[in-house]
Structure 1
Amino acid sequence: MRSREVGLLGLGALCAVAVSVGAGGCQPEGNTRPPGWSGEPRGTAGQGGSGAEMAGSGEGGRRGDEGDGGTTTTGSAGGGGTEDPPAARAATIEEITTGVVPRDTVVELKGVVAMSQKFFVDLTRSGACLWGVFVSSPNLTETAANTGILAVSRSEALTDEDGDVVCPRLEGASAGDPFPDDVAPGDVLDIVGETTYFSSSLCSDACGDLNCDAESDPPETADTCRQDCGASRELIAQSAVGQYQVEWIKSVTRTGHVDPPTPHVLTADEVLKLSSPTEAEFFHAWGGVKVRIEGPLDPVLRTNSMGEDVVVGSYGNIHLEGGPVQVGDKIYYVGGAQGACHKGPIYSDVNVVFNRVDGFLYNNFCIWSLQPANKCADIDPPSEDCATDASMCH
């Protein structure tokens, strides 16, 4: 029997309003940022990408010289000092994610393998556009614990004709950050950046500071607001566990191309850990790693504002039974995209059963979720607009 989850479709907009007036929490699907962070919900700040999430940038750290966006590039945009940067320490992904290499250490990762395309992460309050690429340890045939990490680079935001600060759309413009714009899974990279750890105490309570009576707008009601926030606390509690990253990217050099490793298939016990707020060891080991959940997998149906049951909820998220596990479109979604590959998933059949889902374990601001890089190849069955060609978005 299918499960139903009521009201989550409209809460993203509600939470965006709450954040804009300084109401902390209320991040049911990981799609809005905490108070004090600039930018708008999905689609209005250039990329959108499942909403404007903060995926671990912060405003501190070191900055280098600006890069030129080529195959070998140097620097992280957003300003630069005159001090010589510290020498990079040779390190592996495993050394970073197990704490052997301390946080805030400038490191060089040699020969790591890109596991995703470049995607929009966030727009910071200082006017920096953040771009992410998931990378894996070299010489693997299958992913494993402590072999993956998110690398986050920066470029300067633009000002559009309306005076709004925006980031370029990757579908048709250069990001201007150190990563090549056409970086693709299998590219072998040498990366120099700084080790960081993203976590936020702002998500400890789903709606702790939200006044549902004051902030609810049609078609939302105060009762629905309370119900949605309460239903989201279980997922949001996972945000207490942070994610290791390599940030403040100084340089990226592409040195070759290989077949990327296949995703590790999570066991039933590991899938349960994915939905547990106390499994810090699991998230530290598997955060940033591409993994696979095998089916049969039933979606948790939601009810939209028109009273219809839907598979795909707000911001392109799909919730799977047995966790719960949230599957998002953060990596491949581009706000205002023309091509199907950069739009949210489409599943009109509420009786769909998923055979598998491949994706990266990612702390998408408030929720640890599974994020496919390709809605046609990483999900079986693929999104309906992939037609019969599962390779169309490669």
Structure 2
Amino acid sequence: MRSRDVGLLGLGVLCAVVVSIGAGGCQPEGNTRPPGWSGGPEGTAGQGGSGAGTASAGDGGRRDDEGEGATATTGSAGGGGGGTEDPPAARVATIEEITTGVVARDTVVELKGVVAMSQKFFIDDTRSGACLWGVFLSSPNLTETAANSGILAVSRSEASTDENGGVVCPSLENASAGDPFPDDVAPGDVLDIVGETTFFSSSSCSDACGDLDCNDESDPPETADTCRQDCGASPELVAQSAVGQYQVEWIKSVTRTGHVEAPKPHVLTAEEVMKLSSPTATEFFHAWGGVKVRLEGALAPVLRTDSMGEEVVVGAYGNIHLEGGPVQVGDKIYYIGGAQSACYRGPIYSDVNVVFNRVDGFLYNNFCIWSLQPANKCTDIDPPSEDCVTDALMCP
């Protein structure tokens, strides 16, 4: 669990992130491993909360059959490691074919000319001792993102261990991840990628919460209260969801072939925002999961109370909740614990009367919570974090 000052979003991976394998409850902030976590039943890569210090951010959705038919990805940036057997031939596929189910899960695919939409970020560790890294991708030749045009790619590197046997993953602030993605991958990079289609879906996400909208006032009060208790949620916060997310995992090779202007994010309609706030909107999340989108308008935060009894914009786990759903906005992509640069720390909003004009981010299933994850606290949020202005930050 993060150790951080109230009002900051978080601090991410130290010079080396030490991740223990402890278990935690299913928190509304999405930063601890749900009870009984063992990854997706489909054998998928998963999402954890922002890892910090010695706290476990989750298991990363490891495959229960990890190691069988998988190719190790311990190579340096731009290349992958090799297994003992030749991998199956890759099928040339598109992101749309994967996210619409045309290409079956657990298929080795080659994505040609896809566009990076985010920097590389730390997802989690696995119980087998691997570090998971993520990059969001878009279909090529787009000026604006669209349904089924985005996906999360999950790569792996070999973790080291500390003196107590704990898993240690490097900090992207000052070390190479050692996975196939270039460490300096950036939005707009054109990539050819070989990996395997997977689907993140954890049975640890409570059916009681996944099948019930905790924020629906038409539900019987006793039922809604039970759901909130099970989810660890309070009435004003989002409910956990059992709806899974398409991914490309087990990345075997990455080749950067050029650079283009990344497509601008699709502006969600009022109807789409309400679907984003529903834990049961399966069709919507399958279409828009992994896609960068935009919320715009007068976006007021749901204020929380800190340990001192003061109202704050940013919650203890580094999440902001916006009214009108509500919608959870996190710091998963840019947060690096113990970072020296403020670019990798959480945003600061000391004015509880702040109203956001715009928030850009990726739809991401982060430990049973579908949330909006900005890639940059200075450019993806308007107004930007206060330290972006005072420190004149130019964050990557």
Whether these two folds match at TM > 0.5 is yes
Q: Which residue matches 1:74?
A: 80
Partners of 1:143 and 1:103 in 2: CA distance = 23
Partners of 1:21 and 1:245 in 2: CA distance = 25
Q: Which residue matches 2:45?
A: none
Cα shift at 1:33: 1.3
Partners of 1:392 and 1:41 in 2: CA distance = 22
1:217-366 alignment to 2 at 5 Å? 229-231=232-234, 235-238=238-241, 240-366=242-368
Contact 1:27–1:203 under 8 Å retained in 2: no
Cα shift at 1:366: 1.2
Question: 2:196 matched to 1:182?
Answer: no
Structure 1 21/131 Cα, relative in aligned 2: closer, same or farther at 3 Å? Answer: closer
Deviates more, 1:335-344 or 1:53-62: 53-62
Partners of 1:318 and 1:349 in 2: CA distance = 13
Alignment identity in percent? 76
Deviations 1:72-103 (A, max 9, x none): 3123xxxx642221100000000000000000
Q: Which residue matches 1:44?
A: 53
Q: Which residue matches 2:195?
A: 193
Contact 1:332–1:343 under 8 Å retained in 2: yes
Partners of 1:83 and 1:388 in 2: CA distance = 54
Structure 1 358/135 Cα, relative in aligned 2: closer, same or farther at 3 Å? Answer: same
The equivalent position to 1:381 in structure 2, one of 373, 383, 388, is: 383
Indicate the SS of the match to 2:204: helix
Contact 1:205–1:237 under 8 Å retained in 2: no
Contact 1:55–1:363 under 8 Å retained in 2: no
Structure 1 202/390 Cα, relative in aligned 2: closer, same or farther at 3 Å? Answer: farther
Cα shift at 1:53: 4.0
Contact 2:240–2:370 under 8 Å retained in 1: no
Structure-2-length-normalised TM-score: 0.82
The equivalent position to 2:92 in structure 1, one of 90, 100, 103, is: 90
Contact 2:312–2:350 under 8 Å retained in 1: yes
Deviations 1:202-237 (A, max 9, x none): 121689xxxxxxxxxxxxxxxxx9598242797334
Contact 1:28–1:232 under 8 Å retained in 2: no
Partners of 2:162 and 2:261 in 1: CA distance = 39
Q: Which residue matches 1:63?
A: 70
Q: Which residue matches 1:30?
A: 30
Structure 1 316/367 Cα, relative in aligned 2: closer, same or farther at 3 Å? Answer: same
Deviates more, 1:380-389 or 1:35-44: 35-44
Where does the alignment leave 5 or more consecutive residues of structure 1 unmatched?
Answer: 1-7, 13-18, 208-224
Contact 1:206–1:232 under 8 Å retained in 2: no
Indicate the SS of the match to 2:371: strand
Deviations 1:279-328 (A, max 9, x none): 11100000000000002100000001110000000221000000110000
Where does the alignment leave 5 or more consecutive residues of structure 2 unmatched?
Answer: 1-5, 11-19, 39-47, 210-227
Deviations 1:168-219 (A, max 9, x none): 0000001100101110111100010000000112121689xxxxxxxxxxxx
Partners of 1:121 and 1:200 in 2: CA distance = 16
Indicate the SS of the match to 2:170: coil
The equivalent position to 2:141 in structure 1, one of 115, 139, 142, is: 139
Structure 1 259/52 Cα, relative in aligned 2: closer, same or farther at 3 Å? Answer: same
Contact 2:104–2:197 under 8 Å retained in 1: yes
Deviates more, 1:31-40 or 1:59-68: 31-40
Partners of 2:287 and 2:79 in 1: CA distance = 30
**Which amino acid is 2:342 matched to?**
A
Deviations 1:42-87 (A, max 9, x none): 4125xx7xx71455443435322554323x3123xxxx64222110
Contact 1:36–1:125 under 8 Å retained in 2: no
Indicate the SS of the match to 2:239: helix
Structure-1-length-normalised TM-score: 0.82
Partners of 2:22 and 2:235 in 1: CA distance = 21
**Which amino acid is 1:60 matched to?**
D
Q: Which residue matches 2:15?
A: none
Structure 1 116/206 Cα, relative in aligned 2: closer, same or farther at 3 Å? Answer: farther
Contact 1:53–1:364 under 8 Å retained in 2: no
Partners of 1:163 and 1:330 in 2: CA distance = 26
Length, aligned pairs only = 352
Deviates more, 1:119-128 or 1:382-391: 382-391
Partners of 2:65 and 2:393 in 1: CA distance = 40
Indicate the SS of the match to 1:273: helix
